[in-house]
A and B are shown apart, each in its own frame.
Chain A
């Protein structure tokens, strides 16, 4: 912090002046209204107004902006479409938000080598759109794929329904150009997946913006499968659906996707999309098979048999591409659609070993009814990645209870041998829960690695790692620290 001595006001002025020398006026936001619209991402409980928002237009400008931050000793947070659900793009007070929404070009579709070169602001779904005329597509498909950006996917190592078979973002990124904390542009990985030396590309993926800003990504494209079969199977109970998932995996079938929705989630999604879900069914699985037609048919017969064996009440095959698209649209819109059946809700993201799916779902239902709150479930059943949605009403004063229930569900996942987060990231939301999964030594090693990239801790500080100052505080929307309430400490 070299220039911070004159106080926040003049520093911000000097910062803004340096950015203005670099970028046109329209790319530097300093007015209150503009700044406040960047105060949160998809997780609105966490808010912080930044000092400046900049919108650089290419990698060089991103690097130059980062150098300005370095010169002023100011932290920065990279932001894509701001759809994250863990507060990963939460600004830092008096810090800079670097929006990558002007870097939206698809630089190359290399059909022969099945690669695409992208700027970070490209929407996930647009990659497949651009590759489609060549019979290719980009596999990782987060539910928000119509709006989430590839840069954000890299930061979070995003998953999606089809990651069961095809793997996460890290399995599809070959090479990245990144800006480090001092403003240098470096390339990690390479054009082929076999690279010599330590896999820094792999380290960067999923680092949630704490190691630098990705400014160019080369991803693998896959050939569209010959055949796709999508089945919608209703079950008499959540447990029966959970057991079916176990049975499918035991039968050595790897479907492209196995998704589960309970009746609440279906009610919401049906209201939004009208995909033909059976709203009265306690649970349903969306099972998708893809690959050579013959193999699909064989596995399809086996899956139908397994569903019937577990008491499926209806097995429906999405016959046309349009119907298939509807089924997926409903599934992918489910989080936001829950807004139709509940005024407020928390989205949780945890992982349990697949064998314990039925058990954890029963426990979640019990925990919900104990405190009198509804929990909707819509999730990637195939890899045990849960997304319980805790429904509550802010107006009815249920916030605390709901938030507590949501956290306890995440902790239950860890308790059952799973993980705090499947794909939404740790961000600001779960930084304080990291100590439940990792020992002090584990965390210290992570910190040292991070410091290797960013010795001054200016890349997206406050995310992933629990910070000593904050750990007396509970994650979630703002509430005063216990010591603040006692009048012992105060915020600046």
Chain B
């Protein structure tokens, strides 16, 4: 039989053979030696992504369909599997952190849907949290990028500054010319981040922005516990009503609620953006405040904050400095671990209380769609508790969202840093929400509320779950309905 030529080089020219194995790359080894960082390749020695964690990935691809950027673009290097591959290459010293590596890591929303999807237990959350500070430390950002990021972190973690800004915001919203949208649309592309920021501004109530959550709210009836409450920064200024609802609901269920006035930002926004040092300082301050408050449980009504506070133990794991009068001579790592063990999402506390519920509910007839905030569902694995709490309201019918596992695009400060991708994801989420035909959307994160509101303005009311529960307990109409 005649054989037909198929493959293999037949003369000079490019090599079309499938070599079985990696191409040799001696120049990379040289570069590595010059960098003088034996062991961690392009990473520095301070907590690089651990090799054991990288090894957990078996490259099966089960994470791909739940990754928001893969859903948008279908590109390998913007998928969890691809990003882990990139981390390994950087760890091997084969690629620098600067350039493409940073671009693809910056594009990650940190939603952790991949952690939920992974059958082999890869801890992408820890890998990403090790990678981001490496970038912040070692990769110089462009001037505009640096200034924009600084601006965010000079404003958001500070309640007072946010309050001041809210005055400007409220004034701006009153005076905003009708043709502002057209004007903004005409701004050059390099200003798209500012445009994104403008469009996320929620309707500002000056009274709410300056109101304070009561420092102590007594339990209704016999006390079953003393709960410390994180009031948050953005939450307290722009979603003050959620904090008030939280204290009322917890009190109605028999908890004494303490909201220490001295508390500051929990550091979540910065931590998720790789600002490790700054976040560690904020964590310590918060730990000290709540140690003073002497509470059984620390309840959090912001998914992103709760997720970070549960990780303080890891954040301060190697801080062995014994310090502070309040710390009983314990090291920060011990104090952080003790603190983290007390942190619960408010829905966890309320779901536990359901067995012996003290607060009778009034009927709320509504089809409700619950949106899982990534930092609640994926990062804290809290999915059933908020649903149980919502189902405890007579008349509420819960519907599920298609593509529920995919992020809405908010992702901390992502929608300000990567407005285009965030916009595509926001519109996609809005479309899915519309499709359910629900009367009401509830979600447990202010970031999600801001983001989704932008794409569904006026179409349906959006609340935090505790607001709906609060309305039901008090027998009033839920806000916006």
Partner-B contacts on A (CB < 8 A): 1, 4-5, 7-8, 11-12, 26, 29, 31-34, 36-42, 44, 46-49, 51, 55, 74-75, 81-83, 90-95, 99, 101-102, 104, 121, 123, 144, 146-147, 271-273, 333-340, 343, 428, 441, 444-445, 447-448, 450-451, 455, 457, 461-463, 465, 467-470, 473, 475-479, 491-492
Contact = CB atoms under 8 A, between A and B. Distances in A.
A235 to B, nearest CB: 25
Nearest to B118: A336
B73 A26 contact: yes
B4 A448 contact: yes
Nearest to B79: A37
Contact of B60 (A34, A83, A92, A469): A83
A445 B14 contact: no
Interface in B65-116: 65, 73-77, 82, 85-86, 89, 94-95, 99-101, 104
Contacts of B3: 444, 447
Interface in B111-127: 117-121
16 contacts: A7-B14, A32-B100, A33-B86, A33-B95, A34-B75, A36-B89, A51-B14, A74-B16, A101-B75, A104-B74, A147-B62, A272-B120, A334-B119, A339-B56, A450-B4, A461-B7
A1 B120 contact: no
Given A1-B11, A101-B74, A339-B119, 4 more contacts: A94-B15, A336-B120, A441-B1, A477-B20
B5 interface: yes
Contact of A146 (B22, B65, B99): B65
A91 B95 CA distance: 20
Among A8, A34, A40, A451: residue with most chain B CB under 10 A:
A34
A444 B7 contact: no
| Main DSSP-derived SS at the B contact region | loop
Contact of A93 (B2, B18, B56, B65): B18
Contacts of A75: 7, 16
Nearest to B96: A33
A479 B21 contact: yes
A461 B60 contact: no
Contacts of A81: 61, 64
B26 to A, nearest CB: 14
Contacts of B14: 4, 7-8, 11-12, 51, 74, 93-94
B119 A461 contact: no
A96 B296 CA distance: 60
B77 A34 contact: yes
Contacts of B188: none
A5 B9 CA distance: 12
B23 interface: yes
Interface residues of B, number: 53
A5 B11 CA distance: 9
Contact of A478 (B10, B20, B119): B20
Contacts of A451: 4, 6
| 6 tightest A-B CB contacts, nearest first | A478-B21, A101-B74, A339-B120, A4-B13, A457-B6, A333-B119
Contacts of A461: 6-7, 16, 18
B17 interface: yes
A147 B7 contact: no
B17 to A, nearest CB: 6
Contacts of A457: 4-7
Contacts of B121: 271-272, 337, 339-340
B15 A8 contact: yes
Interface string B282-307: 00000000000000000000000000
Most buried by B among A147, A271, A447: A147
A47 B23 CA distance: 8
Given A123-B65, A272-B119, A336 B17 contact: no
Contacts of A448: 1-2, 4
B21 A477 contact: yes
A441 B3 CA distance: 10
B101 A33 contact: yes
Interface string B376-396: 000000000000000000000
Given A42-B61, A101-B75, A94 B95 contact: no
Given A7-B14, A339-B121, A478-B20, A29 B1 contact: no
Contact of B61 (A1, A38, A74, A83): A83
B17 A469 contact: yes
Contact of B22 (A47, A272, A473): A47
Contacts of A104: 74
Contact of A48 (B11, B18, B59, B104): B18
A451 B76 CA distance: 31
A153 B373 CA distance: 34
A37 B59 contact: no
A339 B52 CA distance: 12
A38 B10 CA distance: 26
A31 B58 CA distance: 24
A333 B120 CA distance: 8
B142 interface: no
Most buried by B among A36, A94, A470, A477: A36
Nearest to A102: B74
A441 B1 CA distance: 7
Nearest to B55: A343
Nearest to A337: B119
Contacts of B13: 1, 4-5, 7-8, 11
A447 B18 contact: no
Contacts of A491: 15, 19
B8 interface: yes
A470 B64 CA distance: 33
Contact of A462 (B10, B17, B74): B17
B398 to A, nearest CB: 16
A146 B74 contact: no
B86 A340 contact: no
A265 to B, nearest CB: 12
Given A33-B104, A457-B6, A461-B6, A46 B60 contact: no
A83 to B, nearest CB: 4
A91 B21 CA distance: 11
